[in-house]
Amino acid sequence: MPADRTPLVDRLDGLLFFPVTPYAPDGTVDLDAFRTHVRARLDDGAAAVFAACGTGEYHALGLDEYEAVIAAAVEETAGAVPVVAGVGHGTALALDFLRRAERAGADGVLALPPYLVKPSQEGLLRHYGAIAAATRLEIIVYARDNAVIDPETVVQLAAIDNIVGLKDGIGDLDRMQRIVSAVRTARPGLPFRYFNGLPTAELTGLAYRGIGVTLYSSAVFCFAPDIALAFHRALNSGDDDTVNRLLDGFFRPLVELRAQGSGYAVSLVKAGVRLDGLDVGPVRPPLTEPAPEHVEQLAALVKHGRTLI
């Protein structure tokens, strides 16, 4: 990290934006639409841009496409908020993506789970340690799916200077509380950050707030930023009446709708962005488009959600 740059760990505060990656009719990445998407959400108050991550179909991007997406995010933000790039696959290919993220000017990295295999704790340490050793960028480790990280392993990861946070996509609050406690005990005063990384994180916002985890990524912010921001303000100000009203009337029904199709955590979000007026194209294989009736239900749900704020 350059000496004159504020550490990423000190810049992450507010609602975190995970943009979708738009595709043109010919199937190529539509960088103009991506810039429009990023600029609109910056104007709405995004606190950081996590580009080419899960919502951005990282898995479907080639190296050149990936670098172009990160570079476009960096150019659009112009330093106003940090840009964090997704990095995944196996260790060797992750390092290739990492070099592209560095070249594109990213401020940090979200280290996604390694591809396919179910590694041991030692294997996870080796994987994330290799990524950290290859860069000066700050790294947030994403625990989910096959990357289930034990508290003792997080303590060891936190001891690596440029690993600055953990995003939890597991949803085991007992484990998460033990992780927070273990790091706090082993490394008192360390500015290590925790993130709720579950799909539609708002649904579990109250539970995570209870153990001190208030940072989260909002997929809803992609297509209904007014609803996402209203919830975020209520959650962080203790306005639990508004939180519960939005949970009952919007977020719980959204999660139930999301559960109607495989891959809807991405494809339904992208449909929402199209409903909001920006043509971002379809998802790439192996994802598929949501059923038309589910898109209609999403439109009705967003309309209702806006009556609740």
Catalytic residues: 142, 167
Rounded to whole angstroms, the Cα distance separating 200 from 190 reads: 28
Residues 300, 301, 302, 306: is their CA dihedral positive or negative? positive
Rounded to whole angstroms, the Cα distance separating 85 from 108 reads: 6
| Residues, the chain | 309
- N-terminal to C-terminal alpha carbon distance within the chain: 40
DSSP 8-state class, residue 58? G
The answer to whether the bond into 285 is cis (omega within 30° of 0) is no
Rounded to whole angstroms, the Cα distance separating 14 from 230 reads: 12
Rounded to whole angstroms, the Cα distance separating 221 from 236 reads: 16
Q: Label each residue of 97-111 as H, E or C.
A: HHHHHHHHCCCEEEE
- For the record, the structure tokens of 118 come out as 């179910």
